[in-house]
């Protein structure tokens, strides 16, 4: 797919091999693509429950963009795609033999979709924001060990460090498929960024590669990629 083949969608360069990353302008998608014809009845019904029209439009635009991009990757019509979700809401494609995996994240008018043909991917996109009360979330986000390192950081670095850790943990938990059903403070990351060991409650559950990106000014994101399913003692 060329970088401008779909109005409102551009490819973002990702250094992780075999990962395709797409940046989505949700408001452009909504106005340019007639998203209602792309999404399912169920998705339209879910959108009708949002109280704010802009939020509903962006939800539908996100679902529509996911279908446009995946249908291109698979060479099928967007309407042919069916999805299933795991117990924690992680979507995957239903009925396609290919081992294609994807993950989606939205923040305000922007969204990202990561696609990989082998492995499991998680992405999290956040807008930078300036709210001093966010620092209180350190006890929810950081593990005990991480809190010790956080405590000695200069004040000026704390907010950015916490937001960075938040996007990283969310991307990891989305690749694992648990989402926030696992408390981020129970998650510890160790090792070089090329192969981070993921420990939940001191038990290794995965090894992942991470990449940090600034897809648009004032935003940040993390891509987490698990290349092979983790088997304890198997690597
Ligand atoms: C996954 C989760 C972290 C997303 O949080 P968020 O910051 O609000 O949202 P993001 O924009 O980053 O990501 C949303 C997308 O992630 C995907 N997603 C949803 N649940 C997911 C999961 N468990 N793992 C990976 N991806 C998930 C979906 O594509 C979703 O898009 P949608 O809103 O169009 O459905 C959060 O919803 C969560 O923790 N869910 C799990 C909680 C749970 O167990 N729920 C059970 C009932 S389903």
* Ligand 1 centre distance from Cα of residue 153 (Å): 31
What is the per-residue pLDDT for 86? 96
Nearest to 142 by CA among 97, 183, 193, 83: 183
For residue 197, report the distance from its CA to the centre of ligand 1, in Å. Answer: 23
**What's the rounded Cα separation, in Å, for the pair 100 and 116?**
6
Note the pLDDT of residue 174.
98
Residues of the chain with pLDDT under 70: 1-4, 233-235
Determine how many CB atoms are found less than 10 A away from the CB of residue 66: 24
Q: Which residues line ligand 1 (CB under 6 A)?
A: 62-63, 88-91, 103-106, 124, 170, 174, 177, 179-181
- pLDDT given at position 3: 47
Residue ID of nearest Cα to ligand 1 atom 22 = 90
**Per-residue model confidence (pLDDT) at position 228:** 78
pLDDT at res. 1: 47
Q: How much is the pLDDT for 233? A: 60
CATH 3.90.470.20 domain position(s) in the chain: 9-118, 125-226
Task: Give me ligand 1 centre to Cα 90, in Å.
Answer: 6
**CA dist 133 → 40, 108, 181 (Å):** 39, 20, 23
CA distance 74 to 92: 14
Segment holding 122, helix H or strand E: strand 120-127
Closest by CA position to 123, among listed 79, 80, 62: 62
Nearest CA to ligand 1 atom 29: 104
Handedness of CA 133, 184, 166, 173 (dihedral sign): negative
* Homologous superfamily in CATH for domain 125-226: 4'-phosphopantetheinyl transferase domain (3.90.470.20)
The Å distance, Cα 182 to ligand 1 centre, comes to 12
pLDDT for 15 equals 94
Cα of 148 vs centre of ligand 1, distance in Å, is 29
Fold of 9-118: Ribosomal Protein L22; Chain A (3.90.470)
- What's the rounded Cα separation, in Å, for the pair 14 and 155? 31
From 147, 101, 142, 108, select the one nearest 125 (Cα to Cα).
108
d(CA 128, CA 217): 9
d(CA 165, CA 188): 10
First vs last Cα of the chain: how many Å apart? 35
């Amino acid at each position: 797919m060329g970088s401008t083949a779909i109005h409102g969608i551009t490819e973002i360069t990702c250094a992780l091999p075999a990962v395709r990353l797409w940046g989505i302008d949700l408001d452009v998608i909504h106005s340019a693509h007639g998203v209602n014809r792309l999404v399912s009845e169920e998705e339209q019904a879910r959108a009708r429950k949002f109280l704010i029209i802009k939020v509903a439009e962006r939800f539908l635009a996100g679902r529509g963009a996911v279908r446009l991009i995946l249908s291109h990757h698979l060479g099928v019509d967007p309407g042919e795609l069916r999805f299933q979700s795991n117990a924690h809401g992680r979507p995957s494609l239903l009925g396609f033999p290919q081992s294609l995996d994807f993950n989606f994240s939205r923040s305000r008018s922007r969204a990202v979709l990561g696609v990989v043909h082998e492995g499991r991917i998680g992405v999290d996109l956040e807008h930078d924001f300036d709210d001093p009360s966010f620092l209180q979330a350190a006890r929810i986000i950081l593990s005990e060990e991480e809190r010790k390192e956080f405590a000695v950081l200069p004040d000026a670095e704390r907010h950015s460090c916490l937001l960075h850790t938040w996007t990283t943990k969310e991307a990891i938990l989305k690749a694992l498929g648990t989402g926030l059903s696992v408390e981020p403070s129970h998650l510890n990351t160790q090792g070089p960024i090329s192969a981070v060991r993921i420990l939940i409650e001191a038990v290794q559950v995965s090894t992942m590669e991470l990449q940090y990106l600034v897809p648009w000014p004032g935003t940040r994101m993390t891509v987490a990629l698990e290349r092979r399913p983790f088997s304890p003692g198997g690597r």
